[in-house]
């Protein structure tokens, strides 16, 4: 198995290259639609014009969509028997190689000394999430998430008396609106929200971030959450923060939510904010064939 | 769209207002956290600059007098013959420099600071006092904006790392929006206030307690 994993070096390197330069189409389609809503000649409309050009330029060339190539996270679903250690080693090599060829910026900093390393590796870098499943495929979902948007993410512990948020869906909505209002344009709006309801602190954040791996056009299987997503999408855009926080009609391109059980004493709500440059792609390895989606 | 050419004089800068869209050309210096720390420690907090830094100081002064600072940590292609090329060059979050930006503007006579996310009250009052503006670039438009970097003339303190070094660049038609002006205006404050009142409206229509009734 570990030999087979060595063969993943090239596909993983290609996955990083594509993710860094080629934004998923659902996002620029949402942006093209959003542009129509902004006032002609406004700063907001101009932001969309420039961002859409930027997306096309990066897609056609080799330069990273945004210079902050972010925290590198691999979400891996794999059959039993795949060595996670062997996977990590080959993924690390691919990360170092992608950094050497400028698809990733050297972005790994020693938190105590402040020293930056050249190959994007180091303690906790990159991030791996492994999940074994019953299928034969290996599914690698790569997320490159920049700091500007990561920094405006938020977590709430309900009840939140200050916000008037109780332990119910209305309270969750209050938290989401608060997070978007606090973020203003600083997460490089328009953004995409991943919301995690329940879990412990860590699980709640994890769940929120996993929602960001969904397609903007999918519909939540859970009817309650599907309605919640639609309502939050509409309500948050009514705040008028707009692209880059310049004011305008589109503050968010999408809202995705997930739920986990909690223990009676806790009720966490987590909001993960992804900037418009939401770079994520999948590599599917099936019967020796690889495909990047 | 207003064309701005570096060097920028005070009169021009004071004619700019929040919301103006500008297209900037001319010499600019990139500087983010490490560089701001350096500028303050070496040239603001001491009366005499260190001998080793004299040459750097001249270069920096020459660029920044009536000049422009860009909060940017670029991806740079460095060729073997010493030439450098900006591959990816969007703005980085500016608020991290809030503690020292006012001093840097005063010390070097900076007329414009380019970044993203806006800055705080100290910087806003420095813009007013010394005659400068804050220009918000389009966050994440790194490839597009790198095309506006016509030339890399040199680099000061490459040893700070690619992203933290002070790159001496020449911009051509770099697009940005004035979000903080020299009259105390801040688009960030305006949008924050407007969105707070929208938030109250949204909460009311959802049957939730309005913001001002909550214990914030
Ligand atoms: S928030 Fe996103 S678009 Fe903005 S600078 Fe960071 S990675 Fe780039």
What is the spatial distance between Cα B91 and Cα B144, in angstroms, rounded to a whole number? 12
Residue range A230-251: average pLDDT? 97
Q: What is the mean pLDDT of chain A?
A: 95
Q: What is the pLDDT of residues A132-178, one digit of tens each?
A: 999 999 999 999 999 999 999 999 999 999 999 999 999 999 999 99
Residues on chain B touching A240 (C-beta within 8 angstroms) = 191, 194-195, 198
Q: Is A105 within 8 Å of A279 (Cβ atoms)?
A: no
> By three-state DSSP, how is residue B18 classified?
coil
ipTM associated with this complex: 0.90
Question: Ligand 1: which atom is nearest the Cα of residue A277?
Answer: 3
A188 lines ligand 1 (CB under 6 A): yes
With b for 16 or more beta-carbon neighbours within 10 A and e for fewer, the B7-42 pattern comes to ebeeebbbebebbbbbbbbbbbbbbbbbbbbbbbeb
Residues on chain A touching B158 (C-beta within 8 angstroms) = none
With b for 16 or more beta-carbon neighbours within 10 A and e for fewer, the A118-154 pattern comes to ebbbeeebbebeeeeeeeeebbbbbbbbbebbbebbb
Q: Is B64 within 8 Å of B109 (Cβ atoms)?
A: yes
Of A71, A188, A244, which is best to mutate to test ligand 1, by the most ligand atoms within 8 angstroms of its C-beta? A188
What is the spatial distance between Cα B149 and Cα B132, in angstroms, rounded to a whole number? 22
Q: Is the pLDDT of residue B211 over 80?
A: no
Scanning the structure block, which residue is given the tokens 């701001």? B36
pLDDT band per the 50, 70, 90 thresholds, residue A3: low
Q: Which candidate from A51, A148, A239 shows the least CB-CB separation from B141?
A: A51
> By three-state DSSP, how is residue A14 classified?
helix
Q: Is the pLDDT of residue A2 over 60?
A: no
Find the A66 Cα to ligand 1 centroid distance in Å. Answer: 6
Q: Is B202 within 8 Å of A235 (Cβ atoms)?
A: yes
Nearest one of B91, B87, B132 to B109, comparing CA atoms: B132
> By three-state DSSP, how is residue B169 classified?
strand
**pLDDT, position B184:** 97
Q: What is the pLDDT of residues A170-227, one digit of tens each?
A: 999 999 999 999 999 999 999 999 999 999 999 999 999 999 999 999 999 999 999 9
Which residue would you say has higher pLDDT here, A4 or A47?
A47
Q: Is the pLDDT of residue A28 over 90?
A: yes
Q: Is the pLDDT of residue B95 over 50?
A: yes
Find the A251 Cα to ligand 1 centroid distance in Å. Answer: 15
CA count, 13 A, side-chain hemisphere, B96: 18
Scanning chain B, the segments in alpha helix (DSSP H) are 10-15, 33-39, 54-64, 98-108, 121-130, 142-146, 187-205
Residue range B179-200: average pLDDT? 97
Q: What's the token pair of residue B100?
A: 């020292």
Q: Is A141 within 8 Å of A18 (Cβ atoms)?
A: no
pLDDT band per the 50, 70, 90 thresholds, residue A293: very high
**pLDDT, position B70:** 98
Q: How far is B117 from chain A (nearest CA, A)?
A: 5
Q: Is the pLDDT of residue B213 over 90?
A: no
Cβ of A146 under 8 Å from any chain B Cβ? yes
Q: Is A151 within 8 Å of B116 (Cβ atoms)?
A: no
Q: What is the mean pLDDT of chain B?
A: 94
pLDDT band per the 50, 70, 90 thresholds, residue B214: low
**pLDDT, position A280:** 98
DSSP B186: B
Cβ of A179 under 8 Å from any chain B Cβ? no
Cβ atoms within 10 A of the Cβ of A96, count?
16
CA distances from B100 to A219, B36, B41, B111, B134 (A): 47, 7, 10, 15, 15
CA distances from A292 to A78, A112, A232, B3 (A): 16, 37, 31, 43
Cβ atoms within 10 A of the Cβ of A157, count?
13
Scanning chain A, the segments in alpha helix (DSSP H) are 2-6, 9-21, 25-37, 43-60, 84-100, 147-150, 169-183, 201-211, 223-237
CB contact under 8 A, B208 and A67: no
Residue range B33-46: average pLDDT? 95
Q: What is the CA radius of gyration of chain A?
A: 19
A198 lines ligand 1 (CB under 6 A): no
**pLDDT, position B67:** 98
> By three-state DSSP, how is residue A238 classified?
coil
pLDDT band per the 50, 70, 90 thresholds, residue B216: very low
What is the spatial distance between Cα A3 and Cα B210, in angstroms, rounded to a whole number? 61
What is the spatial distance between Cα A173 and Cα A255, in angstroms, rounded to a whole number? 12
Q: Is the pLDDT of residue A236 over 50?
A: yes
pLDDT band per the 50, 70, 90 thresholds, residue A251: very high
DSSP A198: S
**pLDDT, position A278:** 98
Residue range A60-85: average pLDDT? 94
Q: What's the token pair of residue B211?
A: 């913001």
Alpha carbon of residue B21 to chain centroid: 15
Phi-psi region of A102 (alpha: psi -120 to 50; beta: other; left: phi over 0): left
**pLDDT, position B75:** 83
């Amino acid at each position: 198995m570990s030999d087979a994993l060595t063969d993943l070096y090239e596909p993983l390197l290609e996955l990083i290259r594509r993710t860094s330069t080629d934004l998923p189409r659902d996002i620029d389609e949402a942006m093209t639609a959003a542009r129509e809503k902004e006032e002609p000649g406004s700063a907001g409309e101009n932001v969309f014009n420039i961002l859409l050009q930027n997306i096309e330029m990066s897609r056609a060339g080799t330069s990273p969509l945004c210079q902050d190539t972010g925290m590198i996270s691999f979400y891996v679903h794999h059959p039993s028997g795949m060595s996670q250690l062997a996977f990590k080693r080959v993924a690390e090599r691919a990360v170092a190689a992608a950094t050497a060829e400028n698809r990733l910026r050297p972005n790994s900093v020693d938190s105590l000394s402040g020293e930056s390393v050249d190959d994007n590796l180091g303690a906790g870098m990159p991030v791996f999430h492994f999940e074994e499943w019953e299928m034969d495929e290996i599914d690698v979902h790569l997320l490159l998430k920049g700091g500007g948007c990561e920094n405006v993410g938020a977590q709430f512990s309900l009840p939140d008396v200050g916000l008037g948020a109780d332990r119910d869906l209305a309270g969750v909505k209050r938290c989401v609106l608060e997070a978007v209002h606090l973020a203003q344009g600083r997460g490089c709006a328009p953004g995409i929200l991943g919301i995690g309801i329940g879990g412990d602190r860590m699980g709640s954040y994890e769940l929120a971030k996993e929602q960001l791996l969904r397609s903007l056009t999918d519909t939540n299987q859970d009817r309650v959450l599907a309605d919640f997503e639609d309502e939050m999408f509409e309500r948050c855009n009514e705040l008028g923060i707009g692209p880059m926080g310049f004011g305008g009609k589109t503050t968010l391109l999408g809202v995705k939510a997930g739920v986990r059980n909690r223990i009676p004493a806790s009720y966490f709500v987590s909001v993960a904010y992804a900037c418009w440059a939401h770079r994520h792609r999948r590599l599917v390895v099936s019967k020796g064939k690889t495909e990047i989606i | 769209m207003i064309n701005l050419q570096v060097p920028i004089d005070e009169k021009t800068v004071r004619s700019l207002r929040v919301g103006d869209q500008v297209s900037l050309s001319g010499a600019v210096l990139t500087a983010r956290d490490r560089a701001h720390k350096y500028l303050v420690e070496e040239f603001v907090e001491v009366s005499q600059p260190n001998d080793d830094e004299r040459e750097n100081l001249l270069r920096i002064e020459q660029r920044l007098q009536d000049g422009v600072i860009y909060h940017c940590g670029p991806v740079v292609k460095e060729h073997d013959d010493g030439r450098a090329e900006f591959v990816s060059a969007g703005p980085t979050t500016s608020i991290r420099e809030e503690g020292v930006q006012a001093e840097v503007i005063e010390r070097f006579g900076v007329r414009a600071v380019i970044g993203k996310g806006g800055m705080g009250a100290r910087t806003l009052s420095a813009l007013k006092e010394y005659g400068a503006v804050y220009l918000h670039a389009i966050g994440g438009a790194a490839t597009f904006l790198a095309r506006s970097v016509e030339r890399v003339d040199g680099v000061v303190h490459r040893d700070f790392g690619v992203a933290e070094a002070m790159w001496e660049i020449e911009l051509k038609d770099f697009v940005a929006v004035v979000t903080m002006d020299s009259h105390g205006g801040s688009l960030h404050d305006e949008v924050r206030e407007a969105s707070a009142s929208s938030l109250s409206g949204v909460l009311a229509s959802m049957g939730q307690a309005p913001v001002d009734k909550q214990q914030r």
